[in-house]
């Protein structure tokens, strides 16, 4: 079991209201990602759930029990930290065994559980090493192993991949997703990277300045962003946001169109513009096109679309994929 409910949860640091008030339901077995720009309160929210910070107001309910004042260890949660927070003086085995030892479990049982976790995480050959003798990815796996052995009701991940290089990050992303498939335990994952959020989450919680902007599945957020903030944050490259005459003609203060929903042609189209930058990625070509009267638009074309700086191109938005926003920035 691992359902978590936040009711009116707030956090104040001195004068600063980091989190004004948040309500959120996390169901058992869900993979929930908190995403948002740095300083949006996502890590604070995670630490409130973990019990590493006291809430200033509201309740945290874990598995139907009010856990607001419970000590971190009594909440049945396990956390993987950004810096991994491995105990540097202990071997991998002792690191993974530590929470079990603290729980007073007998030696044989501990050995068995550690061996299981090590097998799942491919750490069997490294059990006697110290953390400093491991690579970044291996350390990450030890941190996860230390979390797994406790069989927590939920896992908390605090930007766990931000210290890894790009290639390893993609791998670990897959491994964590697979782990979730295997364990079917609730996971709450904090990141500022919307790609991680999109690829891993069952449910994304977009945070901004301590408030929830939108909650939904990745495709919900992609298809129907509730407001300009979510529209701009989810999706890569970012959605084009157009104001002025064109927007008003389409019935909004602002309209948004994703780069992948703009058709490109060298001959004819709705808008005519000049390519300022073309990025050839092989599989795709990303272009920044200066369209007089509309602005600088990002557009995506196939890899073979041969254009260069200064070329003239025609753009045609797919109007069925247009997003319309009112003057408060809310979706219409």
Q: Site residues for other proteins, window 213-252 (CB under 8 A)? A: none
Work out how close the CB of 100 gets to other proteins at its nearest, in angstroms, rounded to a whole number. Answer: 9
* Three-class SS state of 30: coil
Pairing mode of beta strands 211-216, 271-280: unpaired
35 with 205: CB under 8 angstroms? Answer: yes
279 with 286: CB under 8 angstroms? Answer: yes
Work out how close the CB of 309 gets to other proteins at its nearest, in angstroms, rounded to a whole number. Answer: 33
Q: CB-wise, 141 or 146, nearer to other proteins?
A: 146
Instruction: Output the six-digit token pair for 101.
Output: 């030892």
Among 25, 28, 53, 284, binds other proteins (CB under 8 A): 53
82 counts as binding other proteins under rule CB under 8 A: yes
89 counts as binding other proteins under rule CB under 8 A: yes
The backbone region for 104, taken as left when phi is positive above 0, alpha when psi lies in -120 to 50, beta otherwise, is left
Q: Judged by CB under 8 A, which stretch of 46-54, 122-130, 201-209, 305-313 contacts other proteins?
A: 46-54
For residues 224 and 216, what is the distance between their CA atoms, to the nearest angstrom?
A: 10
Instruction: Give the DSSP H or E segment for 10.
Output: strand 4-13
The alpha carbon dihedral of 175, 181, 185, 188 has a sign of positive
Q: Judged by CB under 8 A, which stretch of 17-25, 28-36, 67-75, 280-288 contacts other proteins?
A: 67-75
How many binding residues for other proteins (CB under 8 A)? 26
54 counts as binding other proteins under rule CB under 8 A: yes
142-161 exposure pattern, b = at least 16 Cβ within 10 A, e = fewer:
bbbbbbbbbebbbbbbbbbb
Other CB atoms within 10 A of residue 281 CB: 9
Among 11, 42, 146, 180, binds other proteins (CB under 8 A): 146
Q: CB-wise, 43 or 208, nearer to other proteins?
A: 43
Work out how close the CB of 73 gets to other proteins at its nearest, in angstroms, rounded to a whole number. Answer: 4
86 counts as binding other proteins under rule CB under 8 A: yes
Q: CB-wise, 24 or 79, nearer to other proteins?
A: 79
Other CB atoms within 10 A of residue 189 CB: 26
16 counts as binding other proteins under rule CB under 8 A: no
9 counts as binding other proteins under rule CB under 8 A: no
70 counts as binding other proteins under rule CB under 8 A: no
For residues 99 and 105, what is the distance between their CA atoms, to the nearest angstrom?
A: 9
286 counts as binding other proteins under rule CB under 8 A: no
Instruction: Output the six-digit token pair for 320.
Output: 């069925």
42 counts as binding other proteins under rule CB under 8 A: no
Which residues in this chain contact other proteins in the complex, by CB under 8 A? 50-54, 71-73, 77-79, 81-83, 85-90, 98-99, 102-103, 146, 150
């Amino acid at each position: 079991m691992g359902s978590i409910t936040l009711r009116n949860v707030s956090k104040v640091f001195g004068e600063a209201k980091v989190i004004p008030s948040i309500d959120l339901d996390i169901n058992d077995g869900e993979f929930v990602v908190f995403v948002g720009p740095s300083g949006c309160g996502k890590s604070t929210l995670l630490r409130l759930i973990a019990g590493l910070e006291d809430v200033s107001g509201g309740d945290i309910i874990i598995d139907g029990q009010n856990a607001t004042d419970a000590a971190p260890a009594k909440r049945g949660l396990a956390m993987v930290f950004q810096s991994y927070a491995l105990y540097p003086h202990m071997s991998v085995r002792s690191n993974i065994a530590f929470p079990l030892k603290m729980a007073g479990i007998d030696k044989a049982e501990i050995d068995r559980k550690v061996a299981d976790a090590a097998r799942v995480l491919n750490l069997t050959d490294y059990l006697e090493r110290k953390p400093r003798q491991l690579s970044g990815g291996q350390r990450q796996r030890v941190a996860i192993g230390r979390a797994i052995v406790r069989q927590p009701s939920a896992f908390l991940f605090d930007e766990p991949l931000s210290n890894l290089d790009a290639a390893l990050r993609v791998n670990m992303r897959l491994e964590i997703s697979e782990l979730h498939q295997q364990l079917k335990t609730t996971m709450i994952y904090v990141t500022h990277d919307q790609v991680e959020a999109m690829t891993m989450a069952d449910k994304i919680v977009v945070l901004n300045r301590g408030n929830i902007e939108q909650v939904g599945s990745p495709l919900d957020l992609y298809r129907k962003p509730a407001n300009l903030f979510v529209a701009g944050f989810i999706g890569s490259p970012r959605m084009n946001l157009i104001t002025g005459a064109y927007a008003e003609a389409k019935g909004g203060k602002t309209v948004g169109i994703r780069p992948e929903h703009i058709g490109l042609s060298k001959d004819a189209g709705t808008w005519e513009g000049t390519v300022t930058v073309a990025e050839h990625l092989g599989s795709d070509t990303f272009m920044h096109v200066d369209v007089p009267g509309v602005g600088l638009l990002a557009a995506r074309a196939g890899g073979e679309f041969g254009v260069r700086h200064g070329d003239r191109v025609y753009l045609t938005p797919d109007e069925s994929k247009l997003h319309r926003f009112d003057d408060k920035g809310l979706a219409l």
